[in-house]
Structure 1
Amino acid sequence: MKKIKPLALTIIATLPLTALAASSSSSKIPDWKLAEATEVWSPVPAVVTANENTPPSDAIVLFDGKSLSQWQGVEGGDAKWTVQNGSFTVAPKTGDIKTKESFCDVQLHVEWATPTKVTGDDGKELTSQGRNNSGIFLQEQYEVQVLDSYNNKTYSNGQAGSIYKQHIPLVNPTRAPGVWQTYDIIFTAPKFSSDKKLTSPGRATVLLNGVLVQNNVEIQGATGWIGKPVYTAHGCAPLRLQDHGNPVSFRNIWVRKL
C-alpha cells in the first residue's frame, strides 16, 4: 500500500468542504426533487363559484327574497314575519323564527336593517337595548346581537357586534338607521362527549360591514340575560332570529356547512 506523505494530508485537510462536495455532484439530489417531496396533490378542493352579489355555489340559501319557506315558528308552524320587497321584517309579538334545517359548523351571511324611526309611540327617543333590537342565535343558543348601535349608548357587551353578554366587539362599525348592514359569521360548534360533558367550546369570528369585530372568540355557554352562561349538551340545531318587539328587517341570508 502506497503511503501518503504528511504534506499531502495537510493539503487535503485544508480543502473547502464545497470542493469535496463538488467531486460527488453527480449524486446530489436536485432541488426540484426535494421540493416535490413536500407537494400534496390530494384531496383536490372542490370548485366553488362566488362573486360579490350572489351566494357561493355550495351555499344553502335561507331566504330568496320571496318566501319564508326555509323557516318556521319557534314552536313549529309557519313563520309569521312579513315578507315584502325582497326582505322580511319581524312582526312584533308573533315570536322568534328558526330554520327548518339544523346546522353545526357554519359560515353564515346575514344582512339586516333597523327602522329609521328611533322614537317610541310617546315620541321619546328609543335608547340602549330598546332601540330596535333583535338577535341571531347560532344553534338556537349563542346570540350575535342585532341592535341599532349608531349613536346609541348601551352596555358594551350588548351592542351590535357583540356575542351577547360575553364578548365586547373590537370596534363599532354600525351604520345609520335604515341602512343595510352585513354580518359574516364563522361558527365552530361546541363538542360534547357521550356522557354529555363539554370537550370543546364553541368559537366565533364575526365581521360587521366587512370589519372584524370578533376574532375567533370562545363562546362561554348559552346566551342568558341574567347570570353566567352555561353549556348544556346538544347536537346540530337550527339558526334562530329573535322577535324582541321591534320591526327589524333581514335579507340575503345564506349558510355554508363547514
Structure 2
Amino acid sequence: MSVKVTRDEVIAFRLEAQNLNRRVDGQSLVAATGVCGVQNSPPGSALLALNARVSGVTREAVNAAISDDKSLLQSWCMRGAPFYFPTIDLPIFTTGALPTTEDGRRHFVLGVEASLNRLEMSLAEVVDRTRNAIGTVLSGRTLTVNDLGTDIAEQIAHELPKSKRADWESEGPYAKGQPLGEGVVHFCLRILTLQKVICFAPREGNKAPFVLLDEWIDNDVPEMAPEDARAELLRRYLHAYGPSYAWGLRLVARYAFTRR
C-alpha cells in the first residue's frame, strides 16, 4: 500500500527526527549525534549543526566528549566525509558505510582508478599494504594525512619490485611534487577508517591528525555483523531523512545485494 505525503509533512518529519524543531537538553549531546551522525565538513560545521539541535552546546563540551570521556568519535564516513558520531555506534558508521566489493570501494574513493591502472595494482592490494605499514608508522603518534601518507608510501616503496617502484615514486596527478604512491595511500586511508584501523584525533590548529583507533579508544566497542551494521545505518538514515530517494535507494540496493 502506498502512502502519499505532502512536502510540508516530509519537512515536519525530518525536523522532528533530527531535533530541529526544538533543542534537546545539553546532556543529550552524544545522543543527538547518533541520529545519523553529524558531518564536520568544512571543519567546525559540526559545532554549528549541534548548536541547532542541542541546548547550550559549546565547543568545550564537544571537545571534552571527543578528548576526555571519548564518547564522541570523528572519522571519515558516508560519502568519504568526516562525521561525528557516538563511539558506541562505531560499527554502524564505519562497517555500515564500507562498500563490500572492489568496485564499490573504488567508487567510494573516486579518483584513484587511473593511478591503480598505471601501477597495475588492485585497490585491495594497496589497502592491505597500507594497513600492514600503518601500525609501525603511526603507533604512539598522531600524524596529519600528508605526513602519514609520506611515511607509509616510503615504506611500501621498499617492498615493491624495481619496475613498479619507479611508477610508485614518480609524480602523480593529485598534487605538484607528490609521488603517485603517496596520493594512492591517501585514498586508502579512507578505507582504513571504515575498517576501524584509524580515526581522527582532536584538531591541532588547522590540522586534523590521525591516530590508531585501538590506541585512542580505551573502552570496548560492541561488535556488529556487517549486514546488521548496514541495516542499522539504513534505518537511521531513513528515520532522519525519510521519505527519501537517491541515497536511500543506493543503501537499499547495497543491503539487498549483500543479503542474497
Confirm or deny a common fold (TM above 0.5): no
Answer 1 or 2: which has greater helix percent. Answer: 2
Structure number with the higher strand fraction is 1
Task: Please report the TM-score for the alignment, with normalisation by the length of structure 1.
Answer: 0.23
Larger Rg: 1
Taking structure 2 as the reference length, what is the TM-score of the superposition? 0.23
